[in-house]
């Protein structure tokens, strides 16, 4: 039975969506059906399709009482919106259905695990949000909240756990048929920790252990964890709030963190080895992963930044988009990300320019557009005389431009959207240290994917990724190249989708 609250949301989104034209939206990145979108939720493969749910406030383009929006796709690039899956309509989630995950039960039902939020008066007179973990079960379209909700509350917290920051369960099924989930939490001092829970059936849950503890290293509260094995490593990803920059890592305030290590299946202990940011651009948060039927681990994040996302025009009928789906692998002790290979099916006209040697500024025939997939192989024209700076400028006309530049002497790659249509004094550039011996010789591979209002950069076949949203009109589509010194490059440029 759908509640009146959910029926209202469904009616509203259906009517409102008709008034939004397709062009001002991204093409192959999922965006909010109407209103506001944040984190990816319930990312799973069910009945032959990928299901993506998302944090959703249909009634305005700003964050509000959280619903779950819902879309499906066969290739993670062409999306079909479905009616909202959940609304904050019960006594245990009346102030919001926060982030969570999805899994297929052996009996063929789709299980969603999410955070129920209620505001509660506290003994000290304050009014605070209390968070519990809840379940809904459905058929890919309609979901029924479980009568036993909440399935995890303050009683299943470790001694130093917080009932106020206890959210974003990510569930998985083990080969032995039992279930595990990780949830974000913090100590009374707001120090992040990831909690591990177990369940025989997906409905009855028990606290197992603190899987990872921040101990003051990476920001404060840890949100939206995901935990999996990949290429022989245990991978914990999480999105810490209030991060302090460390060198060239962790510059986004609310950022992303990947901890690589090993996991002992017997004791269920995670031993950390290395840490890195997941995305080095401006707009990327709360990523979640899914495994494809052919075994690839795919990650999608919210392509926004909490510190800058509320600065959009109130007249816009929708706000928020997801990142490209990214294929993950572990190489050279790092998390690598490559655009999902299905994007190659969307490639249209191909333009190649090989061994282009230039200084100063050039434009190349057939190289322009705001829906493109472009690969650049950059090297010095003379290995003994390395150029000082290379840049590709895009979304460009006489007034505007966005750029990705590289300085081999410092080995620093920069994305800069200062002249990309924003009228706000917010962060418009990010730098990334490309820690690689070839790059210090001026040899670097840059793949740039544009989808009207975003740029995603993949360096050296996925060693680093940088994402940023753009604010210029999609008709601003010029591309040029700049070199301070002599650069030689190969360019392979494809238009994407219907242009």
Give the binding site for ligand FRU (CB under 6 A).
38-39, 55, 66, 98-99, 115, 167-168, 223-224, 285-286
Active site residue 139: no
Contact at 8 Å (CB) between 496 and 396? no
The distance of closest approach from Cβ of residue 116 to ligand FRU in the complex, given in angstroms and rounded to an integer, is: 11
Residue 164 or 336 with smaller CB distance to ligand FRU? 164
What secondary structure does DSSP assign to 231-256, as a single string?
TTEEEEEEEESSPPPBTTB--SSS--
Residue 60 or 349 with smaller CB distance to ligand FRU? 60
Contact at 8 Å (CB) between 303 and 322? yes
CA angle, corner 436, sides to 432 and 437, nearest 5?
140
Q: What are phi and psi of 75, to 5 degrees?
A: -130, 5
Residues 196 and 141: their CA atoms lie apart, in Å, by: 29
> Partners of 118 in the beta sheet?
130
Contact at 8 Å (CB) between 496 and 347? yes
The distance of closest approach from Cβ of residue 56 to ligand FRU in the complex, given in angstroms and rounded to an integer, is: 9
The distance of closest approach from Cβ of residue 299 to ligand FRU in the complex, given in angstroms and rounded to an integer, is: 15
Q: Closest Cα partner for 305 from 39, 41, 29, 60?
A: 39
- The per-residue b/e assignment along 474-493, b for 16 or more CB within 10 angstroms, e otherwise, is bebbbbbbbbebbbbbebbb
Sort residue 381 into left (φ over 0), alpha (ψ -120 to 50) or beta.
alpha
The distance of closest approach from Cβ of residue 192 to ligand FRU in the complex, given in angstroms and rounded to an integer, is: 11
Residue 100 or 408 with smaller CB distance to ligand FRU? 100
Residue 221 or 434 with smaller CB distance to ligand FRU? 221
The active-site residue, picked from 39, 279, 451, 477, is: 39
Residue nearest to ligand FRU (CB): 98
CA angle, corner 26, sides to 406 and 17, nearest 5?
160
The distance of closest approach from Cβ of residue 165 to ligand FRU in the complex, given in angstroms and rounded to an integer, is: 8
What secondary structure does DSSP assign to 424-469, as a single string?
S-S--EEEEE---HHHHTT-EEEEEEEESSEEEEEEGGGTEEEEEE
The distance of closest approach from Cβ of residue 214 to ligand FRU in the complex, given in angstroms and rounded to an integer, is: 15
| Catalytic positions, written as ranges | 39
């Amino acid at each position: 039975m759908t509640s009146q609250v959910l029926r209202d949301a469904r009616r509203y989104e259906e009517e409102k969506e008709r008034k939004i034209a397709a062009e001002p939206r991204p093409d192959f990145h999922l965006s909010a059906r109407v209103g506001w979108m944040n984190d990816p939720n319930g990312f799973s493969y069910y009945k032959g399709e990928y299901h993506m749910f998302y944090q959703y406030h249909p009634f305005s383009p700003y964050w509000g009482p959280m619903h779950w929006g819902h879309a499906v796709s066969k290739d993670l690039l062409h999306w079909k919106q479905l009616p909202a899956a959940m609304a904050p309509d019960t006594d245990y989630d009346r102030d919001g259905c926060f982030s969570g995950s999805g899994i297929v039960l052996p009996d063929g039902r789709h299980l969603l695990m999410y955070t129920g939020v209620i505001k509660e008066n506290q003994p000290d007179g304050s009014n605070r949000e209390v968070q519990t973990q809840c379940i809904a079960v459905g058929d890919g379209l309609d979901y029924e909240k479980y009568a036993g909700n909440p399935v995890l509350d303050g009683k299943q917290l470790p001694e130093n756990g917080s009932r106020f920051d206890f959210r974003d369960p990510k569930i998985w099924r083990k080969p032995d048929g039992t279930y595990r989930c990780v949830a974000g939490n913090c100590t009374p001092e707001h120090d992040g920790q990831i909690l591990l829970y177990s369940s025989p059936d997906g409905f009855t849950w028990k606290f197992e252990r603190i899987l990872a503890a921040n101990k003051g290293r990476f920001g404060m509260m840890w949100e939206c964890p995901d935990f999996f094995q990949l290429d022989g490593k245990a991978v914990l990803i999480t999105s810490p709030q209030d991060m302090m920059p460390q060198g060239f890592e962790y510059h986004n305030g609310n950022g992303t963190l990947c901890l690589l290590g090993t996991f002992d299946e017997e004791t269920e202990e995670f031993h950390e080895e290395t840490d890195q940011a997941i995305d080095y651009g401006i707009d990327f948060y709360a990523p979640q992963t899914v495994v494809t039927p052919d075994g690839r681990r795919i990650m999608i994040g919210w392509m926004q930044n909490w510190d800058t996302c509320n600065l959009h025009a109130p007249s816009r009928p929708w706000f928020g988009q997801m990142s490209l789906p990214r294929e993950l692998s572990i190489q050279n002790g790092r998390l690598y990300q490559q655009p999902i290979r299905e994007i190659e099916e969307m490639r249209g006209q191909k333009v190649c320019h090989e061994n282009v040697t230039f200084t100063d500024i050039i434009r190349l025939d057939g190289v322009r557009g705001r829906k493109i997939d472009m690969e650049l192989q950059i090297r010095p024209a003379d290995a003994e005389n390395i150029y000082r700076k290379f840049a590709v400028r895009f979304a460009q006309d006489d007034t505007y431009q966005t750029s990705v530049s590289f300085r081999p002497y410092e080995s620093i790659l920069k994305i800069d959207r200062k002249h990309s249509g924003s009228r706000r004094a917010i962060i418009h550039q990010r730098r990334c240290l490309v820690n690689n011996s070839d790059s210090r010789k001026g040899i670097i591979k840059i793949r740039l994917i544009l989808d009207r209002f975003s740029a995603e950069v993949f360096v050296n076949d996925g060693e680093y990724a940088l994402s940023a949203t753009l604010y210029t009109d999609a008709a601003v589509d010029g591309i040029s190249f700049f070199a301070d010194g002599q650069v030689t490059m190969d360019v392979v440029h494809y238009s994407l989708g219907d242009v």
